[in-house]
């Protein structure tokens, strides 16, 4: 069985029509040729855009000089009300400063320290699940949010402020914040951005809740009573160059992106991984067998090789962030074509991960591919679920431990079976199913 994939648009469309399609789903708004093209150029009255799939070009954009291909403001326009001036949106010296403060909290040694909180969240996830038919994306979202709150603030998702943040974020998602006029038409800096009223309201509510958490933690740090979790680590880390720490408002920005990236993307990957196992029972039984003796020992995670390959295959087929956008700061030449200053460079994990000229069986589910020569080569050159280069996701290692653990725990406790409701992939903030992922659960 070939996992579900959006039907791409056929033929050229006007900018007005493209915006309408983009609002409905980022993926089906794109033409089918992107699954074979090394590069494609799109022209609008306002800017030129180049989607690149050729591995050397992708590497050049992501791993070359950061200053030559900074994050595009097209992405930040819609997310700014929630994410403020976070590390996800900044460029240049400000991004470098934020990265220096944040990175130590996610170094390899810290993963072992945060693992007990992940373990507790994984057990809580299983306890919340029950036999019968259910929509699994919401359960995955709840579990991923629980991991974030436990590792960041030592709070379970059931705590009042964590639960309120979670449900407010669900409301924020429904406003489709990425779809913003300024993402398509360049507006002067002084002009107010046309964000929807409910987008602004949800973003303000979420930031208000996060501010309460950060202010309370600042007080605990001052009193010497703060727990040794990720929030404390980040808030007490000094920039090695300036000696400064984050202000409370700066920390609100960073926590907003940790919650968005760490919860939303992990939930997307976990939901699709469970669906893929439900439709491939032989792989599901291999995961269950591998996980049967799982304990809270961090060292065991490295032994869950089948589970890791299944989760990696879910990230390949359904990369949570389907597209990333950079911008050129000087003229370039891509494949003998002039790329002017100010061009938008689109990197699409969705199309790169399914590229017909790179992958064997690109649309098929095959966790064994990662042991083949083609799979190993593509992992190096054409697999970027967490981006790559200097701006690779700081929490990539965190996400791989979390995702593998939650998947193993879920399958150890329940058998998952597909229902007649086939999920339809669609992308707004992340790759989700239009009407959810409905599975039937049987307790093992």
Q: What is the pLDDT of residues 205-215, one digit of tens each?
A: 999 999 999 99
* 162-180 pLDDT, tens digit each: 999 988 888 887 766 555 5
Strands 132-135 and 438-443: antiparallel
Q: 75 in a domain, yes or no?
A: yes
Q: Is residue 152 part of a domain?
A: yes
Q: pLDDT at residue 430 above 60?
A: yes
Q: Which two tokens stand for residue 207?
A: 């930031």
Is the pLDDT at 196 greater than 80? The verdict is: no
pLDDT at 255: 93
User: Is the pLDDT higher at 73 or at 130?
Assistant: 130
236 vs 167: CA distance, rounded Å: 29
Encoded tokens for 387: 């981006």
Q: How far is CA 13 from CA 37, 68, 144, 427, in A?
A: 18, 31, 38, 19
CA atoms of 106 and 122, how far apart (whole Å): 20
Confidence band for 194, pLDDT divided at 50, 70 and 90: low
pLDDT at 55 (0 to 100)? 97
Residue 358 binned pLDDT confidence (cut-offs 50, 70, 90): very high
- Among 166-175, 251-260, 295-304, 352-361, whose mean pLDDT is lowest? 166-175
pLDDT computed for residue 195 by the predictor: 64
At residue 136, φ and ψ (nearest 5 deg) are -85, -20
pLDDT tens digits for range 364-415: 999 999 999 999 999 999 999 999 999 999 889 999 999 999 999 999 999 9
Hey, which of 39-43, 101-105, 119-123 has the most confident mean pLDDT?
Answer: 119-123
Residue 10, domain member (yes or no): no
pLDDT at residue 183 in the model: 55
Q: How far apart are CA 88 and CA 95, in angstroms?
A: 8
pLDDT at 334 over 90: yes
Q: DSSP letters of 76-111?
A: HHHHHHHHTT-TTT--HHHHHHHHHHHGGGGSHHHH
Q: How many domains does the chain divide into?
A: 1
Tokens of 326: 């950079």
Predicted local distance difference test score (pLDDT) of residue 216? 96
Domain membership of residue 169 as a residue range: 15-443
d(CA 97, CA 95): 5
Q: Is residue 6 part of a domain?
A: no
Specify the CATH number for the domain of residue 421: 1.10.630.10
* Whole-number pLDDT of residue 189: 60
1 lies in some domain:
no
- Which are the contacts of 196, defined by CB distance < 8 A and separation ≥ 6? 175, 177
Q: Contact at 8 Å (CB) between 121 and 140?
A: no
Residue 350 contacts residue 27 (beta carbons within 8 Å): yes
**157, part of any domain:** yes
H/E stretch holding 58: helix 55-63
Query: How many Å from the N-terminal Cα to the C-terminal Cα in the chain?
Result: 25
User: According to the model, what pLDDT value does residue 184 have?
Assistant: 53
Rounded Cα distance between 311 and 402, Å, is 10
Residue 4 in any domain: the answer is no
* Residue 339 counted as domain residue: yes
DSSP state letter for 43: E
């Amino acid at each position: 069985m070939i996992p579900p994939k959006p039907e791409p648009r056929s033929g050229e469309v006007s900018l007005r029509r493209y915006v309408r399609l983009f609002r409905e789903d980022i993926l089906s708004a794109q033409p089918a040729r992107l699954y074979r093209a090394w590069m494609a150029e799109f022209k609008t009255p306002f800017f030129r855009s180049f989607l690149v799939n050729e591995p050397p070009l992708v590497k050049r954009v992501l791993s070359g000089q950061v200053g030559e291909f900074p994050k595009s403001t097209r992405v930040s326009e819609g997310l700014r009300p929630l994410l403020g001036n976070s590390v996800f949106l900044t460029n240049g010296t400000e991004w470098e400063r934020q990265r220096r403060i944040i990175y130590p909290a996610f170094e390899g040694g810290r993963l072992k320290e945060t693992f007990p909180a992940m373990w507790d969240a994984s057990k809580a996830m299983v306890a919340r699940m029950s036999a019968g038919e259910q929509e699994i994306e919401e359960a995955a979202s709840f579990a991923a949010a629980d991991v974030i709150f436990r590792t960041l603030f030592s709070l379970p998702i059931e705590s009042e402020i964590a639960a309120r943040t979670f449900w407010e974020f669900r409301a924020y998602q429904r406003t489709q914040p990425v779809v913003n006029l300024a993402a398509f038409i360049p507006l002067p800096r002084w002009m107010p951005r046309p964000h929807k009223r409910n987008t602004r309201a949800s973003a303000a509510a979420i930031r208000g809740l996060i501010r309460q958490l950060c202010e309370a933690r600042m007080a605990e740090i001052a009193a010497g009573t703060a727990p040794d979790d990720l929030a404390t680590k980040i808030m007490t880390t000094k920039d090695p160059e300036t000696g400064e720490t984050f202000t409370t408002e700066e920390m609100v920005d960073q926590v907003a992106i940790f919650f968005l990236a760490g919860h939303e993307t992990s939930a997307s990957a976990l939901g699709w991984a469970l669906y893929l196992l439900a439709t491939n029972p032989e792989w599901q039984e291999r995961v269950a067998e591998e996980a049967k003796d799982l304990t809270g020992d961090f060292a065991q995670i490295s032994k869950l090789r089948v589970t890791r390959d299944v989760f990696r295959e879910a990230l390949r087929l359904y990369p949570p962030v389907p597209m990333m956008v950079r911008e050129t700061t000087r003229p370039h030449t891509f494949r003998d074509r002039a790329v002017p200053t100010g061009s938008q460079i689109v990197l699409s994990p969705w199309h790169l991960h399914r590229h017909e000229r790179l992958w064997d069986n690109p649309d098929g589910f095959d966790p064994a591919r990662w042991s083949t020569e083609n799979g190993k080569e593509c992992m190096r050159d054409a697999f970027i679920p967490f981006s790559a280069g200097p701006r690779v996701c700081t929490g990539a290692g965190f996400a791989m431990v979390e995702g593998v653990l939650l998947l193993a725990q879920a399958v150890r406790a329940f058998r998952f079976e597909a229902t007649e409701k086939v999920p339809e992939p669609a992308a707004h903030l992340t790759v989700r199913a239009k009407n959810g992922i409905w599975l039937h659960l049987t307790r093992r």
